[in-house]
Amino acid sequence: MKNLIYLLLIIALMVAGSAAQAQQPERVARIGILNNTTASGMAVLVDAFQQELSKLGWIEGKNIAFEYRFSEQNSERLSELAAELVRLKVDLIVVTGGRVPLTAKKATSTIPIVMASGSDPVAAGLVASLARPGGNVTGLTSLNQELITKRLEVLKDTVATLSRVGLLRPSTRGQLKEIRRAALALKLSLQEIDTQPDVKGLQNAFQAAKQKQVGAIMTATTRPFFAERKRIVELAAKYRLPAIYPEKGFVEDGGLMSYGADFEDLFRHAAVLRVDKILKGAKPADLPVQQATNV
């Protein structure tokens, strides 16, 4: 009889323990998304990223939460926003290119940072090498520099009489060395136009392009320009300027043509190949930076 009582007691404790364990909430991973543009401008890429994570079982509101920080085209706010994410002790920070990954790295040397699209992380001092990042930064690169020459070639082939090209560039003036070299090789006069990615700045840039009598335009590959892609496409049509863009999103919004990395694909790969692995225990230092393969 005593043995039966002990057995029933043990069974009751096991059942109670299992019930208590089952009631324990699943740990929620917190992902910071840091970007220097706007939520609406990045929506299509963020959606692709989240959809891919959901396929892997990471469901918002269940086991994952997102902390969004957009600087609204004000790069001066990036440091403040990065510091906020660090104070929140997020598990991982997802960034794009330009100044964003470097700002995030300055804010933390311990929280993993995943570049969903970067330019040259080695030259920027973000990683020791593509194969062995060696720190808290890893991710994907978009081959911006490598594709610039081809983009100009496509533009010249499309506009047979082209001799002068207007380049809309941000004030940071990235990518210029490669573009200048490519223009020289193709015997094109490159008219560089500093462009602020807002209504007035873009209007001024296109007016400057017409004044410089360019035959076509192209834009530098930056998130602020991508966020304003619809406005840029509309201005190109208004001023009757053929244009080639670095991302298909411009064409989807009415642009003439594009040649460049598939950024939606990069964001999906960032979810599968980097974020999912890190959340499951992998170290950024051990995950090579992968170059874009879908152009």
Q: State mean pLDDT over 108-122.
A: 91
Q: What sign results for the dihedral spanned by CA atoms 150, 172, 214, 207?
A: positive
Query: 196 and 138, same structural domain?
Result: no
On the question of pLDDT at 194 being above 60, the answer is yes
Q: Is residue 275 part of a domain?
A: yes
Query: 174 and 138, same structural domain?
Result: no
User: Distance between CA 127 and CA 192 in Å, rounded?
Assistant: 30
Query: 197 and 247, same structural domain?
Result: yes
Largest CA distance in the chain: 101
On the question of pLDDT at 185 being above 80, the answer is yes
Q: Is residue 5 part of a domain?
A: no
Q: Is residue 3 part of a domain?
A: no
On the question of pLDDT at 20 being above 50, the answer is no
Residue written as tokens 């090498």? 129
Q: Is residue 273 part of a domain?
A: yes
Query: 122 and 72, same structural domain?
Result: yes
Query: 138 and 284, same structural domain?
Result: yes
Work out the percent of the chain whose per-residue pLDDT is above 90.
70
State the chain's mean pLDDT as an integer: 89
Q: Is residue 46 part of a domain?
A: yes
pLDDT band at 25 (very low <50, low <70, confident <90, very high): low
Which carries the bigger pLDDT value, residue 18 or residue 183?
A: 183
pLDDT value for 128: 92
On the question of pLDDT at 91 being above 60, the answer is yes
Among 37-46, 137-146, 150-159, which stretch is predicted with the lowest mean pLDDT?
Answer: 137-146
On the question of pLDDT at 278 being above 90, the answer is yes
Q: Is residue 11 part of a domain?
A: no
Rounded to 10 degrees, the C-alpha dihedral 78/79/85/89 comes to 160
**Residues in Cβ contact with 225 at an 8 Å cutoff, skipping those fewer than 6 apart:** 168, 170, 195, 197, 219, 232
Query: 106 and 68, same structural domain?
Result: yes
User: Distance between CA 277 and CA 281 in Å, rounded?
Assistant: 6
Length of the chain: 295
- Report phi then psi at 279, rounded to 5: -65, -25
Q: Please tell me the pTM assigned to this model.
A: 0.82
> Which tens digit of pLDDT belongs to each residue from 197-210?
999 999 999 999 99
Query: 248 and 166, same structural domain?
Result: yes
User: Distance between CA 105 and CA 123 in Å, rounded?
Assistant: 14
Structural domain range at position 105: 29-143+263-291
What total number of domains does the chain contain? 2
Q: Is residue 214 part of a domain?
A: yes
Query: 226 and 137, same structural domain?
Result: no
Query: 208 and 181, same structural domain?
Result: yes
Strand order in the sheet with 216-219: 189-194, 164-169, 216-219, 243-245, 257-258
Query: 150 and 243, same structural domain?
Result: yes
Query: 190 and 119, same structural domain?
Result: no
Query: 205 and 148, same structural domain?
Result: yes
pLDDT band at 13 (very low <50, low <70, confident <90, very high): low
Domain at 175, CATH number: 3.40.50.2300
Q: Is residue 88 part of a domain?
A: yes
